[in-house]
A and B are shown apart, each in its own frame.
Chain A
Amino acid sequence: MLFSRKRALARAEAGAVGTLRDGFWDALGKAEKASLIGVGVVIVVSLLGPVVWPYSAIIPSGEQLLPPLSGGHILGTDTLGMDMMARLLSGMQRSLMAAVVVTTIAAIFGSFIGVMAGFRGGAVDTVLMRVTDLFLAFPATIIAMAVAAALGQSIWSAMAGITVVWWPLYARLVRGEVRRVVALPHVQAAKVSGVTGWRLLVKHVTPAVTPTIAVTASLDIGAVIMTLAGLSFIGLGTPAPAPELGRMASDGMKYFLNAWWISVLPSLAIGLLSFLFNYAGDALRVGLRRKGV
């Protein structure tokens, strides 16, 4: 988890994105196109899957511990006889929605703080950034665990915990970008033309920053999925029988030797999701490669 945060910061400093260009799709390589299609497929499957799939994710529907491809259950059943496929689909849906919500809130709040700090400068900048540093100073996992534990066992508290540790990244990233953009000639030229305040910020500064935020956010979805799964794995998500991938993986550990699929399949699902989103984020960055700014 910490590892991915560091990576996000490194990417932020490399800051290599700009405004939307024509022919977004054309700029992509085969692997990048594949990753975007993959993300599309995963989103559709995890949204529609639980509705279409005949078995329930939380009601036992067959014999216990059926291995994959047996007894009419394509991925087998778990210790209580619940269909693995149904649980995976629901789990992916939960993960995805939680990650999108967390990333969106963190990105919006963090960017707002960052824009204020970078654009206003001076005391506002100092105060906002010291507060941000305060959040960054604690190990992210520990804060997230503390918040999630304090709010009780549910996916909502895990999400809240992660949001609390995630926004400072955006605050820092966006502050740096805003400071860079404010020093660019076109912003100074706009100032000379008499443009000030909100209009300067909204018309001349933020359009240069939004692609960076969008790309970072899409890259972050993968990392948030991992972190959520991690919290859920150590028991801070909604308790069973709720289909949470991390919880499923940890509960299945006990049966690993005689029923490997109960823990391996959810782990694979987590890996697949985070891999795809990471790759798609990169693709997005390539497609939005800087142009002029």
Chain B
Amino acid sequence: MSDAPVLTVDDLEVVYRTRDRVVTAVTDISIAIEAGRCLGLVGESGSGKSTIGAVVQGIIPDDGTATATGRVTLAGRDLTPVTDPVWPQVRGRDVTTVFQDPMRSLDPTMSIGSMLNRYTGSAAASIAALARVQIRDAATVLKKYPHQLSGGMRQRVMIALALARGPKLLVADEPTTALDVSVQAEVLNVLREASRDAGCAVLFVTHDLGVARHMCDEIAVMQNGRIVERGPADQIISDPHEPYTKRLMASRITLDTDRSRPVGAPEAAVVSSMEDVLKVQGREGGDVEDRWAASSLCWDDFRGETAAVGAATGDDAVRLVSHVTRASLTVNDVHKTYTSRVKGRKVHNHVLKGVGFEIGYREAVALVGESGSGKSTLLRIAGGIEDADSGAVDSQGVAGEGTQVIFQDAGASLTPWMTVEQLLVERVAHTRTGKDMTTGQMRDLAVRTLELVGLDATIMGARPAQLSGGQQQRVAIARAVVVPPSVLLCDEPTSALDVSVACSVLNLINLLRHSLGIAVMFVTHDLAAARLIADRVLVMTGGEIVETVPAERLAQDITTDYGRRLVDAVLA
């Protein structure tokens, strides 16, 4: 590109000082973006990508806790990062932002029109601005308030607002992470085209390589505050050079991911036992190389191992046979309606309209659908958190103890003031298995389970806040399986996690399923993850199951319009 770049950052280093330590957030960062181009900053949480986004918007607090060195040139102006007095004039004019959650960043008390007109000057100009983000019914939308719009519409409005002031640079910080997958691609297209038309440079911050490839001309991959690899988007995706980028790519789950082996495993590596896998997988801070190498053991090996265990004693064999013939979870014609009052009138929201299915012994079934499809309500009913209006849920079939739930936000699902040990022991004490056990035995069981999910026994005394996101999810899983349930219900257990952690959690669920012989019901909006975990995929929409597809042939066999939309939404 011959144009001078809109944004250049040279030798940026940002250091945060807290009371007791000094953290270098980013170091040695040099980037440049030309008008109309898009640079993607891709990395996991803690990689420093958002810090760079904040620096170029001048929104890092200059209260002395952060110090920055280096140079930022924005639209021809030389700016000292963080402390330059010119930032308030630049921010919101030359550089604008699209945030992750439009509901939080739009003023709930203002109509779309009154927000937009301030920048565009007239209603007609506002309608044109909305047309640019492909909102057709612009005149109506102008009269609405943020809460009256869908998530995808809100984010479009956010983009229109950000572009309305004619910025030179647009910073998009995970703009589609909070949206349903099926609208994610549309919003990305809108953002790309609208910013290209406006001749505006885009700094796109994301954790998702697929999204970045869809959106960006150029990608910079970040790790531990440094840019480890950069290049044209297609080259980074198709031919990554750096090991870290390769691993990020390997831990991406698509509809072509090999289901027979753990995700993220390089082809060549070989590891000999289940223990090795678990030990290494649990060490999140540890050497990434080891972690990935360890994942390479095939699922089939575990299937073999568990089959051997199952055949061990006559008693077990008998029990096994009787189990296999019965379903682990039977859901029969479940209805659920929520009633609320709007302006004095009762409004019925029919969330589940007669849902019925079975999960067989040791079978894994995924329930996919958008928010509002009723999938989470169904999981809560199956988990006994809510009651159905009519219909029956039965999970008494097998040896395990009913159902256990793994929640999306593992951190919030662990009682903050209880230690890992207390949480696990409490669970054991409230099961049939735990009735005759002494406290010592329960603690031993807890330790063994922690090791099973790849955690060290030393975290027994830790409270949830002291653990990383991945560790919290592992503890939540450990609590759920410390006494194996007959069905493990998973409610989007990975959507809040970094890709590499998410994929190790998926591997863990798969592994536990095979090694403990439990059935899994996996609720998600991510078709690729569903395909990886499940044997069968149930597609839900509007409170009904519209389709059942074998996971093996998901992309080919799915027939409903809605199902196809979900398939298309998985960004390759």
Contact = CB atoms under 8 A, between A and B. Distances in A.
A193 B417 contact: no
A292 interface: yes
Interface of A: 19, 26, 184-195, 203-204, 207-208, 291-293
A185 B407 contact: yes
A203 B416 contact: no
A189 B479 CA distance: 10
6 contacts: A19-B417, A184-B412, A188-B385, A189-B405, A192-B403, A293-B416
B21 interface: no
Nearest to B402: A194
Contacts of B465: 291-292
B416 A193 contact: no
Interface in B374-424: 383-385, 403-405, 407, 409, 411-418
Given A185-B407, A292-B465, A203 B385 contact: no
Among A186, A189, A195, A292, residue most surrounded by chain B Cβ atoms (within 10 Å): A189
A194 B482 CA distance: 13
A194 B409 contact: no
Interface stretch (B271-279, B295-303, B426-434): B426-434
Looking at B416, B427, B430, B464, the one whose CB has the most chain A CB atoms below 10 A away is B416
B171 interface: no
Interface size class of B (residues with CB under 8 A): 20 to 34
Given A185-B409, A185-B412, A193 B430 contact: yes
A207 B415 CA distance: 10
Contacts, number: 58
B476 interface: yes
A194 B384 CA distance: 10
Given A188-B385, A193-B430, A292 B416 contact: yes
A27 to B, nearest CB: 10
Interface of B: 19, 383-385, 403-405, 407, 409, 411-418, 426-427, 430-431, 464-465, 476, 479
Given A191-B385, A194-B431, A291-B465, A26 B19 contact: yes
Given A291-B465, A292-B464, A192 B405 contact: yes
A19 B417 CA distance: 8
Given A186-B415, A192-B384, 11 more contacts: A19-B416, A186-B414, A189-B407, A189-B415, A189-B479, A193-B426, A193-B427, A193-B479, A195-B426, A208-B416, A291-B465
B493 to A, nearest CB: 12
> A188, A191, A192, A207 — which one has the most chain B CB atoms within 10 A of its CB?
A192
B430 A291 contact: no
Nearest to A195: B430
Contacts of A204: 415, 418
B417 A189 contact: no
Contacts of B404: 192-193
A188 B414 CA distance: 10
A292 B412 CA distance: 8
Contacts of A190: 415, 426
A203 B426 contact: yes
Contacts of B413: 185-186, 188-189
A184 B465 CA distance: 16
A292 B465 CA distance: 8
Contacts of B383: 192
Contact of B416 (A186, A188, A192): A186
B407 to A, nearest CB: 5
Contacts of A187: 415
A203 B427 CA distance: 13
A198 to B, nearest CB: 13
B111 to A, nearest CB: 28
A129 B479 CA distance: 37
Contacts of B476: 189
Given A189-B476, A193-B426, A195-B426, A291 B405 contact: no
A213 to B, nearest CB: 15
A193 B413 CA distance: 11
Contacts of B414: 186, 189
B75 to A, nearest CB: 40
A19 B383 CA distance: 29
Given A26-B19, A192-B384, A207 B417 contact: yes
A237 B6 CA distance: 76
B433 to A, nearest CB: 11
A15 B403 CA distance: 35
A185 B412 CA distance: 6
